[in-house]
Chains A and B, each alone.
Chain A
Amino acid sequence: DSGVTQTPKHLITATGQRVTLRCSPRSGDLSVYWYQQSLDQGLQFLIHYYNGEERAKGNILERFSAQQFPDLHSELNLSSLELGDSALYFCASSAQPHVEQYFGPGTRLTVT
Chain B
Amino acid sequence: ELKVEQNPLFLSMQEGKNYTIYCNYSTTSDRLYWYRQDPGKSLESLFVLLSNGAVKQEGRLMASLDTKARLSTLHITAAVHDLSATYFCAVDIQGAQKLVFGQGTRLTINP
Interface on A for B, CB 8 Å cutoff?
A: 2, 31, 33, 35, 42-45, 48, 50, 55-56, 58, 90, 92, 97-98, 100-106, 108
Count, chain B residues at interface, CB 8 A? 22
Please classify the interface of chain B as helix (H, G, I), strand (E, B), loop, or mixed, using the class held by over half of its residues.
strand
Task: Name the one of A43, A56, A100 contacting B96, with C-beta atoms under 8 angstroms.
Answer: A56
Given the interface contacts A33-B98, A48-B97, A98-B31, does A106 sit within 8 Å of B42 by beta carbon?
Answer: yes
Q: Are A55 and B41 in contact (CB under 8 A)?
A: no
In this complex, what residue of B is CB-closest to A50?
Answer: B97
- Closest Cβ of chain A to B72, distance in Å, is 15
Q: Are A56 and B98 in contact (CB under 8 A)?
A: yes
B14 interfacial contact with A, CB 8 Å:
no
Contacts of A45 in B (CB 8 A): 98-100
- Closest Cβ of chain B to A36, distance in Å, is 11
Q: Are B94 and A103 in contact (CB under 8 A)?
A: no
Contacts of A50 in B (CB 8 A): 97
Q: Can you list 26 residue pairs at the A/B interface with Cβ under 8 Å? A: A31-B97, A33-B99, A35-B99, A43-B101, A43-B104, A44-B101, A45-B98, A45-B99, A48-B98, A56-B96, A56-B98, A92-B99, A98-B31, A100-B33, A100-B48, A101-B33, A101-B99, A103-B35, A103-B43, A103-B45, A104-B42, A105-B41, A105-B42, A106-B41, A106-B42, A108-B40
Q: Are B98 and A42 in contact (CB under 8 A)?
A: no
In this complex, what residue of B is CB-closest to A55?
Answer: B97
Contacts of A43 in B (CB 8 A): 88, 90, 101, 104
Q: Are A103 and B31 in contact (CB under 8 A)?
A: no
Interface on B for A, CB 8 Å cutoff?
A: 31, 33, 35, 40-45, 48, 88, 90, 92, 94, 96-101, 103-104
In this complex, what residue of B is CB-closest to A44?
Answer: B101
Given the interface contacts A43-B88, A90-B42, A104-B42, does A98 sit within 8 Å of B94 by beta carbon?
Answer: yes
The complex places the Cα of A106 from the Cα of B31 at a distance, in Å, of 24
15 other contacts beyond A31-B97, A92-B99, A103-B45, with CB at 8 A cut-off? Answer: A33-B98, A33-B99, A42-B103, A42-B104, A43-B101, A43-B104, A48-B97, A56-B98, A90-B43, A100-B45, A103-B35, A103-B42, A103-B43, A104-B42, A106-B41
